[in-house]
Amino acid sequence: MVRGLKQSHEQLHQKIEQRNRELAMISNLALTISQSTGLDAVLRGALDETVAVLNVEGGVIQLLDDAEPALAVTSGISSKLATALHGENIEIPAQPFFVADLQNDARSSSRVIFESGCRAWAGVPLKSKNRALGALHLFARAPRHFTTDDIALLECIGNQIGVAVENARNAQRVEQMAIVEERNRLAREIHDSLAQALGYLNLKTEMLEGAITRGETESARTEVADVRRVVRDACYDVRESIDGLRTRWSDGNGLIPAAAAYVHEFGQRSGLLTEYVVADGDVRLAPVIQAEVFRIIQEALTNVRKHARASRVSVAIKSSEGAMRIEIVDDGRGFELGTIGEQHHFGLRIMRERAESLGGTFQIESAAGKGAHIVVQVPLKRK
């Protein structure tokens, strides 16, 4: 009886240790996913942990690529099995499954795996929002009965990996959309500034040539001065477009110093008096929020330079009650809000769209001869 109790105690202790390992693995996987490491690192880490916890020889993770399953990562399997799996193109399972002994399974995929030296096989779909995105497969060299607890653990792991895959693909889509948006923005800027400037310069050089031919010296000097002004503005627009493509916070300094550097450069190039005020210099935001807020500031200052005929502009940033507030104020000619709609002014519309894409708001106050006052508020989502 004592021996039986001792054996039961040991078995219970082993089960507790196994459950602790499983819980630690799930916790580590959740932490890895939350830290937004690369998808490949998440998949490899999850597969290695699963192979170790379930005490099997190896495994693979498949991902659906253009509706066809393809091997994404492998762990502990032979090159022979990896090659065979590439050629077999195993279907993504709809539900978790296991084959205790492949020698007794008639499916062609089981035969391929068996001939590669494995005897047991378990698989689980990687799901997100009830949609299969791939599969996790484990292989053992000896016959193995996977318990209901094993399958439940695999299903939990599959769901977590599925979420990671979905998040990574969503991030990739957002990045691609951002790239397309920046390309479209640059194309519009080239059309609205450089292309028009070059067309204007072409016309001016023809007029200059005519004035020189006719011996009209004063007229030629006027045209030369005008050409210089247009060239100077065109150079400014090109530099501004280049600045717009730079990621100023890639060095880890954040939005606040990046905006300070831009406002300083803007003042030097435009000749306007600039003021930059920050009430909270320790705000650290997610990269996507930093990018959008920076673009709003850049667009607002571009509008001041091109349209306001101002002599002074100020940019103020502060945070309170979970929101960041950005104010851009100029002393230019202003305009009546009722006489110009945002649908006819790309700059105003794009600033509003950027603010609203962050869950924020965009407001502008202006009147003829009284400059303009822009207020943008976005919710803080700190890094």
Q: How confident is the model at residue 282 (pLDDT cuts 50, 70, 90)?
A: low
Nearest one of 184, 304, 285, 293 to 236, comparing CA atoms: 304
> Would residue 224 count as lying in a domain?
no
Q: Specify the DSSP element, H or E, that contains 363.
A: strand 361-366
Partners of residue 70 on adjacent β-strands: 63
Number of H helices, E strands in the chain: 10, 10
Domain boundary among 135, 163, 191: 163
- Is 80 exceeded by the pLDDT of residue 139? yes
The residue type of 227 is V
183 falls within a domain: no
Contact criterion met (CB below 8 Å) for 167 and 97: no
In this prediction, residues 31-43 reach a mean pLDDT of: 71
- The boundaries of the domain holding residue 356 are 249-383
Contacts of 356 (CB under 8 A, 6+ apart): 362
* Lowest pLDDT segment from 30-39, 61-70, 74-83, 97-106: 30-39
Q: If residue 74 lies in a helix (H) or strand (E), which one and from where to where?
A: strand 68-75
Q: Is 96 helix (H, G, I), strand (E, B) or coil?
A: coil
- The predicted-structure confidence for 287-345, as pLDDT tens digits, reads as follows 778 888 988 998 899 889 888 899 999 999 998 778 899 999 999 998 887 766 554 56
SS3 279: coil
- In Å, how far are 47, 49, 52, 379 from 160, measured between CA atoms? 12, 13, 17, 28
Residues 26 and 157 occupy one common structural domain? yes
Residue 215 domain-assigned (yes or no): no
Dihedral, CA of residue 226, residue 232, residue 238 and residue 243, to nearest 10: -150
Half-sphere exposure of 98 (CA within 13 A, CB side): 21
Report whether 319 contacts 374 (CB < 8 A).
no
Residue whose tokens read 């599959």: 158
What are the tens digits of pLDDT across the range 220-273?
A: 888 888 888 888 888 877 777 776 666 555 455 678 888 998 899 889 888 899
Looking only at the bridges linking them, the beta strands covering 273-278 and 58-65 are unpaired
Q: Which residue has the higher pLDDT, 178 or 17?
A: 178
Q: What local confidence, expressed as pLDDT, does residue 342 receive?
A: 52
Task: Give the pLDDT band (50/70/90) at residue 137.
Answer: very high
- Mean pLDDT over the full length of the chain: 81
The helix-helix angle for 287-303 and 346-357 (nearest 10°) equals 160
Residue with tokens 């002599």: 311
Range with the poorest average pLDDT among 9-18, 100-109, 260-269, 349-358 = 9-18
Q: Say how far apart CA 134 and CA 132 lie, in whole Å.
A: 6
Task: Measure Cα distances from 240 to 260, 263, 303 in Å.
Answer: 15, 12, 12
Q: Out of 143, 163, 183, pick the residue that ends a domain.
A: 163
Q: What is the pLDDT of residues 170-199, one digit of tens each?
A: 877 877 877 777 777 677 767 767 777 888
SS3 content of the chain, % helix, strand, coil (to 5): 55, 20, 20
CATH number of the structural domain spanning residue 105: 3.30.450.40
Place of tokens 């028009």: 196
Residues 283 and 381 in one domain: yes
Domain boundary among 163, 189, 216: 163
Number of structural domains, the chain?
Answer: 2
Q: Are residues 38 and 157 in the same domain?
A: yes
